[in-house]
């Protein structure tokens, strides 16, 4: 019930964002049911224009573009979500540890993070992937670890602020262990900024994977994913066929909608009222 109350107080932009995200998620989950053809099924000529049989036309191998788009939603969003989740788990645990323990742990973790953040993420990922190869597991682990540096910064800063409050001090004096402090005292109070950050990081990771796939180093064909679909159909644009704009537009659609929701959360987290 509290959720609906919260929803009723939401601004219009957040509601629009929410509807857009729900549409995308529904499309991703229902892909096998609603898509007219198979994921890698070749159904006609190359780069057919939109018709009644193919609502968005066909791609560079003659596969139905709408079908690929729906399956692409499934793969791209699932991988981005898993990566963000992993990055959050690693980032918040390390950040909370650094903030509660302080001293050496804090020093060494923070300096390490400083160094990784002094290097452009895309270049770092490219270099690591050139060594370990481009499997989906490698992709998820590499991006999650790189991204967890930003989560670390935020969660450490938040936990630092909370760690000096009286109730944490009380728990410490009561003799609670470090896990208790992190889970029962700090985490619940750090939730609002972390949730907003989750949305932001999801956008970033999602765009990042799309960019890597676009460069041909992310998900490998024939798996459908939006970044890769832009790459495969890129050649069409010089013939005036807008096939690459559909997946690129889908990426933009999802990022904009998540950003709309994140804006609202940020407003709640910062306690601003207009």
Partner 1 sequence: MNTIAAMVVKRIGMGMLTLLVISVLIFAGVEALPGDLTEAVLGQNALPETVTAFRKELKLDLPPHIRYFSWIGDAVRGEFGNSLANGRPIAGLIGWRFSNSLFLALATAVIAVRVSILLGIAAALYRNSFFDRAISIATLSTISFPEFFVAYILIALLSVQLIIFPSISNINAQMSFWQKIHAIVLPCMTLTLVVMAHMMRQTRAAIINILSDPFIEMAKLKGLKKARIIILHAFPNALSPVINVVALNLAYLVVGVVIVEVVFVYPGLGQLLVDSVSKRDIPVVQASGLIFASVYIGLNLLADVLSIISNPRLRNPK
Interface residues toward partner 1, by CB under 8 A: 114-115, 118-123, 126-132, 203, 207, 210-211, 214-217, 227, 230, 234, 237-238, 240, 242, 244-245, 248-249, 251-252, 255-256, 259
Q: How far is the CB of 217 from partner 1 (least distance, A)?
A: 6
Closest CB to partner 1 among residues 186, 243: 243
Closest CB to partner 1 among residues 159, 236: 236
116 exposure class (CB count in 10 Å sphere: 0-12, 13-18, 19+): middle
Q: How far is the CB of 202 from partner 1 (least distance, A)?
A: 12
Closest CB to partner 1 among residues 133, 188: 133
Q: How far is the CB of 207 from partner 1 (least distance, A)?
A: 5
Closest CB to partner 1 among residues 186, 210: 210
Closest C-alpha among 27, 177, 16 to residue 96: 177
Q: How far is the CB of 164 from partner 1 (least distance, A)?
A: 27
Closest CB to partner 1 among residues 119, 167: 119
Residue 239 DSSP symbol? G
Distance from C-alpha of 96 to C-alpha of 93, rounded to nearest angstrom? 5
Whether omega for the bond prior to residue 222 falls within 30 degrees of 0, making it cis, is: yes
Closest C-alpha among 75, 64, 73 to residue 243: 64
Q: How far is the CB of 59 from partner 1 (least distance, A)?
A: 15
Reported as half-sphere exposure (CB side, CA atoms, 13 A), residue 196 has a value of: 18
Distance from C-alpha of 201 to C-alpha of 210, rounded to nearest angstrom? 14
Q: Are 124 and 144 in contact (CB under 8 A)?
A: no
């Amino acid at each position: 019930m509290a959720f609906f109350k919260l929803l009723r107080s939401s601004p219009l932009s957040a509601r629009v964002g929410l509807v857009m995200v729900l549409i995308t998620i529904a499309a991703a989950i229902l892909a096998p049911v609603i898509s007219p053809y198979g994921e890698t099924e070749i159904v006609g000529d190359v780069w057919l224009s939109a018709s009644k049989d193919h609502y968005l036309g066909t791609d560079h191998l003659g596969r139905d573009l709408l079908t690929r788009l729906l399956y692409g939603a499934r793969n791209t969003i699932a991988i981005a979500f898993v990566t963000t989740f992993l990055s959050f788990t690693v980032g918040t645990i390390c950040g909370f540890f650094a903030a509660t323990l302080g001293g050496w742990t804090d020093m060494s973790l923070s300096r390490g993070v400083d160094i990784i953040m002094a290097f452009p993420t895309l270049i770092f990922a490219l270099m690591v992937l050139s060594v370990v190869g481009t499997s989906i597991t490698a992709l998820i682990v590499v991006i999650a670890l790189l991204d967890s540096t930003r989560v670390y910064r935020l969660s450490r800063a938040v936990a630092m602020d909370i760690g000096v409050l009286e109730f944490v001090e009380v728990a410490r004096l009561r003799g609670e262990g470090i896990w208790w402090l992190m889970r029962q005292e700090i985490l619940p109070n750090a939730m609002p900024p972390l949730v907003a950050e989750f949305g932001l990081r999801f956008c970033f990771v999602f765009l990042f994977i799309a960019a890597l796939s676009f460069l041909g180093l992310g998900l490998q064909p024939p798996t459908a994913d939006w970044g890769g679909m832009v790459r495969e159909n890129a050649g069409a644009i010089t013939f005036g066929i807008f096939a690459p704009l559909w997946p690129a537009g889908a990426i933009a659609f999802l990022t904009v909608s998540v950003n709309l929701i994140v804006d609202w959360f940020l407003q709640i987290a910062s306690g601003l009222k207009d």
